[in-house]
Structure 1
């Protein structure tokens, strides 16, 4: 990743509430330094305009260094307040705030930012008072000029934060629509191939094993009933997702016979949790196609959902060839995984992840982590 790309990624992460920040310290320090310079310049310009000495020698000698001190205190206040909130707040609260895509997000960050600015300004003025101004801090804060200056700064902060988050919402909504359209296109390419293969299998079974052909048609109908409804919507529930997986795995068991064993685990309290559709099925397809089908003995694919530290984990595990095994042609493993990651980012930002891990005992473990918000307790 280039310097520009890593810096842009660090900037995007600054707009998220995260308990553990993945960016390197030099990029975070660079962002803080740019913000410090921006705040200091803004404070100095506002003060110079109000006093009518902008650009004068007195402005350069007194107000610029003084406001840089205030800006440093403001940045320290921002860092201390937001990092303390991220570390102390429960994960579900961070996920809820991150998931807001309306006025609540702008209001939360605007009010918090103004409070941080006030704390930093008061501390910074205290330092200035001790160093050279000689003014009593209480007397200074009691003047109308101080509050006029802080009101102007607060308005600037609020407008900037509101504009930034409005632009972020529009970008994320556009990205989500593009990603969902790509998913529909990809699914439209995959489904006919899967449908034709299934119908061909049924046709070949009709003559010598009509009972099995009938059972495959019944499972195929169950799969269509479960999957077509999800393809038409932007949201599904875990119960619907697992119903589709059960129908799909039933078809795969008819094709692979005793070589495929299935384990599904969905706690009752998570059945109504909402999530984007078709997250787990591509991972199940990869587990069978790349992990189990190449093995003569086959194996087991296990799909589970559970609540861990206030988050939803969806895991697809198999005891197949593993991540280092040879990949079969036409499986679309990388495309499916990249598509899921893009959809998660578009819907949840950095609050959702997809990991591919080596499974203990052999095989592969795919783990999706999603936020559980107030709407999904």
Structure 2
């Protein structure tokens, strides 16, 4: 029930409650100093009876400020409305004092003056206070607007990033599909049974990679399963020319990584490296932690005379763009030549402490 009450109500209530308590303390202290002791009950009744009326008045002024703030293009109209509101507050305060004097004895032992005198006193004491409330209300309204504007900007940026990522995935999937179907087409004329196995693997691969409900991030183990589907197709096509060596640390398997981030690197390694060799080639896939980063490496043998790719292909371009969108400058994609002359692509992405902790727990449970 209390969650439905606006936070501004609690702010106003707490503010005037604290103010009334402080005023009551001052009344008691001044009474003692002047030799006219006042009981706490009388002081609290007098203080709360006077100041707590500002709770509904402050809320009303806040409501008016929210609808008629003083800002460029409408300042004259807003000032007029708020000026009239401040005068209305003075009038209401004067009427309240005049009508409740028999209960609270606002003027002590002195007789209640005429309403004009009460109104003058209310104007002196309340007009500037009303404008102080109006000023604070403006600060609250403008802060709330700024906060809401920041939230909307963040939501728009998130939406834009997701749209861009989906566009990059849509660009990548046809590229892979074209290469995979070419492999199946070549095999149909050579070995129908193997072609059938390739189609089964391709169906499983596409069902995973093209799912519209796929998240942008998923555990490394799921990405490796996708890569295994792809490698099964390529192993059938290349036969003994493709040898795969896995070197994935178990504590890395639960770390979230971008979906479809590893498969294009493996595909590039095969298409531009191993597939161009006449002799067997080795594809090594490694995964391990380097400080607070997950490091994934794809190393492949290359044909003699080949140089390191420039990294301008669709797969590598999409990978770099997705890393920039997801991690900014906290991730990198590096192309290197190893001492043995092989081609190496290293992907370093942030690994959160929570992900590493979960991975460690999973490994301990398995052991």
| TM superposition score normalised by structure 2 | 0.51
**How many angstroms does 1:357 deviate by?**
1.0
Q: Which piece of structure 1 moves more, 163-172 or 275-284?
A: 163-172
1:364 to 343, 356, 362: 343
Contact 1:259-1:299 at 8 Å conserved across structures: yes
1:201 to 178, 183, 186: 186
1:198-252 deviations in Å (ceiling 9; x for gaps): 44235324xxx34323433343344334433487332221111111111111111
**Structure 1 residues 230, 288: closer, same or farther in 2, change over 3 A?**
farther
Q: How does 1:122-201 map to 2 (within 5 A)?
A: 169=154, 173-201=158-186
**Are 1:295 and 2:280 an aligned pair?**
no
SS of 2:282 mapped into structure 1:
strand
Q: How does 1:202-351 map to 2 (within 5 A)?
A: 202-205=187-190, 209-229=191-211, 232-321=214-303, 325=307, 333-351=312-330
SS of 2:320 mapped into structure 1:
helix
Q: Which piece of structure 1 moves more, 232-241 or 346-355?
A: 232-241
1:5-45 deviations in Å (ceiling 9; x for gaps): xxxxxxxxxxxxxxxxxxxxxxxxxxxxxxxxxxxxxxxxx
CA–CA distance in structure 2, aligned partners of residues 353 and 163 of structure 1:
34
**Structure 1 residues 285, 275: closer, same or farther in 2, change over 3 A?**
same
SS of 1:350 mapped into structure 2:
helix
CA–CA distance in structure 2, aligned partners of residues 323 and 185 of structure 1:
33
**How many angstroms does 1:340 deviate by?**
1.0
SS of 2:246 mapped into structure 1:
strand
**Structure 1 residues 362, 168: closer, same or farther in 2, change over 3 A?**
farther
CA–CA distance in structure 2, aligned partners of residues 332 and 372 of structure 1:
24
Q: In the alignment, which residue of structure 2 is the partner of 1:79?
A: none
CA–CA distance in structure 2, aligned partners of residues 226 and 333 of structure 1:
26
CA–CA distance in structure 2, aligned partners of residues 361 and 168 of structure 1:
50
Q: Could you tell me which runs of 5 or more consecutive residues in structure 1 were left unpaired when the two chains were aligned.
A: 1-157
Contact 2:217-2:259 at 8 Å conserved across structures: yes
**Structure 1 residues 346, 204: closer, same or farther in 2, change over 3 A?**
same
CA RMSD after TM alignment: 3.4
CA–CA distance in structure 1, aligned partners of residues 212 and 256 of structure 2:
12
Q: Could you tell me which runs of 5 or more consecutive residues in structure 2 were left unpaired when the two chains were aligned.
A: 1-142, 357-367
CA–CA distance in structure 2, aligned partners of residues 301 and 274 of structure 1:
23
CA–CA distance in structure 1, aligned partners of residues 243 and 208 of structure 2:
21
Contact 2:183-2:237 at 8 Å conserved across structures: no
1:228-279 deviations in Å (ceiling 9; x for gaps): 3487332221111111111111111111111111112222222221111111
Higher gyration radius (CA) = 2
CA–CA distance in structure 1, aligned partners of residues 303 and 337 of structure 2:
10
**Structure 1 residues 337, 344: closer, same or farther in 2, change over 3 A?**
same
Q: In the alignment, which residue of structure 1 is the partner of 2:26?
A: none
Contact 2:209-2:226 at 8 Å conserved across structures: yes
Contact 2:172-2:318 at 8 Å conserved across structures: no
Contact 1:283-1:337 at 8 Å conserved across structures: yes
1:353 to 332, 339, 343: 332
SS of 2:323 mapped into structure 1:
helix
Higher relative contact order (CA 8 A, sep 6+): 1
CA–CA distance in structure 2, aligned partners of residues 244 and 184 of structure 1:
15
**Structure 1 residues 194, 346: closer, same or farther in 2, change over 3 A?**
same
Contact 1:302-1:317 at 8 Å conserved across structures: yes
**How many angstroms does 1:304 deviate by?**
1.3
SS of 1:243 mapped into structure 2:
helix
Contact 2:334-2:346 at 8 Å conserved across structures: yes
